[in-house]
Amino acid sequence: MPVLLQIAIEANKGSVGRIAEQIGETVIENGWTSYVTYARESNPSTSDVIKIGSKFDVYWHGLETRIFDNHCFSSRTATKKLVKLIKEIKPDIIHLHHLHGYFINIEILFKFLRDSNIPVVWTFHDCWAFTGHCAYFDFVGCNKWKTGCYKCEQKHEYPKSLIFDRSKKNYIDKNRIFNSIDNMVIVPVSNWLSDNVKESFLKKFRCQVIQNGIDLETFYVKKARNFIDDKYNLKNKFIILGVASTWDRRKGLEEFVKLNGLLDLNLFVIVLVGLTKEQLAEMPQSIVGIQRTENVAQLADLYSAADVFVNPTFEDTFPTTNLESLACGTPVITYKTGGSVESVTDNTGIVVEKGDVRAILNAIEYIKDKGKIFYENNCRQSAISNFDKNVKFKEYFNLYNEILNK
């Protein structure tokens, strides 16, 4: 029976960890054996899980990154141990997800991949693989990644370096290392990301877009409005929902504060999910803040109860929050950026220009006048037709079989 090994930083936790879990479930259902790695956190998994390194390895990798800007060139011992284990497992396919995150050494890993010639599928969830430092470049409008990075404007952004700027060398090394293998298919999660890959130093590789899918049995239209109204005291308010695993300027946190200042607070209320304790303390009292939750049932209640989901992200590849909102029957307003627009149609929401908070307000008022009932069925049907995890992750299984049959 074929064996799949996925390299991820989390197992069945966080958006990427859950994607790896669901891909594993798909191949297991089809008779394969599935392994998923993790370096930080894990939840119970249907796959066999493999721990990479220790907490100390992650912290040391982070320290090296902070000082030397050599992200993914630390974790030497942990990666050598992983390679030894992979040799024992003998997978038929190795599927890479995020390699950034303070847990892997790409030089050691890709030398093994080159020497073993095991077919590789690499899902790109962001742009880190083809830049000299950053995971996203839209926010600062940088295009150095097309010709060669240097003097990085985002040195202090993730993966943050406090002292050295190694972006020029990182760019050269990534180009050399990632192009050292031939037997690889890159899977961007959006058409926008695919277009960027084709302009990068990775353009020689085959690109096959597979957009993210979600669990439609977890995210569905729920009769949760009365429950949410009572729990958060929102009765008779038009609920504007925002959700993020980590809120910052890039995700549009300041946009919500600006929007709150434009709203009639007798009629509208903003509910934000995923705030830290520090961010909660800084929010205007009129904004309902909720800390990050792994409770997807609670998230589905909030999506279903909301009148509109607003995603004012300044850079994103293909946010699953948009899909979750659609699956719960709630229209989406998003900035025109990256792959965030690819899940929104005229019947399921509105796209506005980046940074135009007044346009968000106008879009909210338009949806309010039209009524959520106009959008609810359209949103749900769009999620069923386009973003069913059972369909999307079967595309990975089909890709694996195509590769093996060659």
Domains 3-213+389-405 and 225-386 belong to one CATH topology: yes
Q: Which CATH superfamily is domain 3-213+389-405 in?
A: Glycogen Phosphorylase B; (3.40.50.2000)
Residues 6+ positions from 369 with CB-CB distance below 8 Å: none
334-338-341-343 Cα dihedral, nearest 10 degrees: -120
- In this predicted model, what pLDDT tens digit does every residue of 37-50 receive, in sequence order? 999 999 999 999 99
Domain boundary assignment for the chain: 3-213+389-405, 225-386
Tens-place pLDDT, residues 160-171: 999 999 999 999
Give the span between the Cα atoms of 85 and 29, in whole angstroms: 24
Question: Hey, how many other C-beta atoms are within 10 angstroms of the C-beta on 282?
Answer: 11
Q: Find, among 97, 103, 89, 119, the residue nearest to 59 by Cα.
A: 103
pLDDT at 294 over 70: no
Identify each DSSP E strand in 8-76 by its residue range. 33-38, 48-51
pLDDT at 141 over 70: yes
Dig out the tokens for 217 from the structure: 């049995």
268-277: per-residue pLDDT in tens?
A: 999 999 999 9
Measured in degrees and rounded to the nearest 5, phi and psi for residue 4 equal: -110, 135
Mean pLDDT of all residues belonging to the chain: 96
- Look at the pTM and tell me if it is higher than 0.85: yes
The percentage of residues in the chain with a pLDDT greater than 70, rounded to a whole number, is 100
Quote the CA–CA distance of 236 and 170 in Å, as a whole number: 54
Render pLDDT for 109-123 as a digit per residue (tens, 0 to 9): 999 999 999 999 999
- Which two structure tokens, joined as six digits, stand for 345? 């149609």
**Alpha carbon distance 224, 260 (integer Å):** 24
- Strand spans (E) along 87-138: 93-96, 120-124
**From CA 15, how far away is CA 355, in angstroms rounded?**
26
* Per-residue pLDDT tens over the stretch 3-13: 999 999 999 98
CATH class given for the domain over 225-386: alpha beta
